[in-house]
Amino acid sequence: MIDSNSKSNYSKYATIALITGLVFVFISWYGMYQGILLHEKRNLLGYLIGLGFWTSIIIGMLFMTLLFYIFKAKWPIIIRRQLEHGLSAFPVLFLLSLPIVCIAKLAPDYAGVVWKWMDPGYVMPTPDGLKVGDDTLYQAKSVFLNVDFFIARTCIYFLLFFVVSYILRTCSFRMDQDGDSKWSSIGIKTSAGTIFFVALATTFLAFDWFKSLEFHWFSTMYGVWFFAASMRAALSVTIIICFFLATKGYLKGIFGRGHLYDLACMMLTFTIFWTYISFSQYFLIYTANIPEETFWYVIREINPITGKFNSWFWVSMGLIFLHFFAPFFMLLRYKNKVTMPNTVFIACWILTFHILDLYWNILPGKKAADNVLGYVVRELNISLYDVTSLIGIGLICMFAFFRSMNKAEAIPIRDPRILASVNHHE
């Protein structure tokens, strides 16, 4: 049971996280405002990176909760409660997404500053100065790519995430009170009935927020990439949370070596899956050699003016060797999967390169320039507003997490499988 002193501490932590997070978010919003005035999207893309990072983690936690219910898994019952606390961040993430998602409504004169397709009059960085509204591909996609539908879709995605999370959290918390097994049955049925729709929402969220930054580009695998990346990030954060709660919190003596081993095995699994999807997408586009697809990779490899490698090529190499090979070989070793400091180090490593992966997917783009091609590629750089966005949005998610910890027991004490979870071993 969570004692009153612990609840008081969680309330204090929640207050500190909220106030500090808001300070950082306001700094990020100021950067966005400056970017809008200058019609330069870099500061806004930094906010999108921070928003995408934390949204991916919470979406991954939702998928983990759904899968644990569907497979009636016994071992992760004590872990599931920590995921349920994480799901409480969906409402704040939705509110934090509104300033950038609604940019065309908040600043109509600068509608195309992030997603250029939002402004039909936007002059694209091409030698002939073609406007978005005159572009054939935009005209073909305009039914889907329009501002009102874009905003409505984001609302639908988060509404679905919130409703599913609310039902699962309610089932789990109610079982703590009355011990009725019907709540477990409702959780299983809800998970089985909604996971397909959550997968669709995740896919189209990735399409809307990230892929449509270059609306000319085609990829049917992009949503699966985002799912794989989200699962890797969520598993990493879950391991870090359980580490702190097992060393200084209420999971001390409960979260054991068996739980850590299984989480690490899942992290290895999704490391391989992320690589498989990322490589398959590249391989299929490379083989097909269709200009509407290949250009997305070309600007992440070659400086169009000099013909030499640009900064994104080295990021690509970093993702191959440091985001796949390094954690892959580290997680192959048994000791690294059962030694808490080693596993936490690997989790932090994966999260670091998950951020780099988001940079690689979001930041490169064509900027108008006075040259034969009509554009230059936005190179890799880290700005102050990237950091404030990552920290600010993360702290507000932590506020939601700590606030949720006051609403339920430390573990699902009346779940019929709780003893099996507590006594779980390799």
Question: Region 258-266: what's the mean pLDDT?
Answer: 98
| Residue 50 structure tokens | 């921070």
Q: Looking at the predicted structure, is the pLDDT value of residue 217 above 60?
A: yes
Q: Report the pLDDT value the prediction gives residue 309, as an integer from 0 to 100.
A: 93
Q: Report the pLDDT value the prediction gives residue 199, as an integer from 0 to 100.
A: 98
Q: Which of 311, 122, 295 is nearest to 214 (CA)?
A: 295
Q: Looking at the predicted structure, is the pLDDT value of residue 391 above 60?
A: yes
User: CA-CA distances (angstroms) from residue 254 to 3, 196, 341?
Assistant: 17, 33, 17
User: CA-CA distances (angstroms) from residue 424 to 61, 77, 149, 254, 262?
Assistant: 21, 10, 47, 10, 10
133 CB-side CA count, 13 A: 5
Q: Work out the burial of residue 67: count CB atoms within 10 Å of its CB; fewer than 13 is exposed, 13-18 middle, 19 or more buried.
A: middle
What's the CA gap between 251 and 81, in Å, rounded?
A: 11
Architecture of the CATH domain 221-381: Up-down Bundle (1.20)
The string of DSSP letters for 169-215 reads HHHHHHHHHH--THHHHHHHHHHHHHHHHHHHHHHHHHHHHTGGGGT
Q: Where do the domains of the chain lie?
A: 1-216+383-421, 221-381
Q: Looking at the predicted structure, is the pLDDT value of residue 93 above 70?
A: yes
CB-CB contact of 46 with 28 (8 Å): yes
| Banded model confidence at residue 3, pLDDT cuts 50, 70, 90 | low
> What is the residue-averaged pLDDT of the chain?
94
**3-class SS of residue 400:** helix
- 376 forms beta bridges with 367
Question: At 368, which helix (H) or strand (E)?
Answer: strand 366-368
Residues in the chain: 426
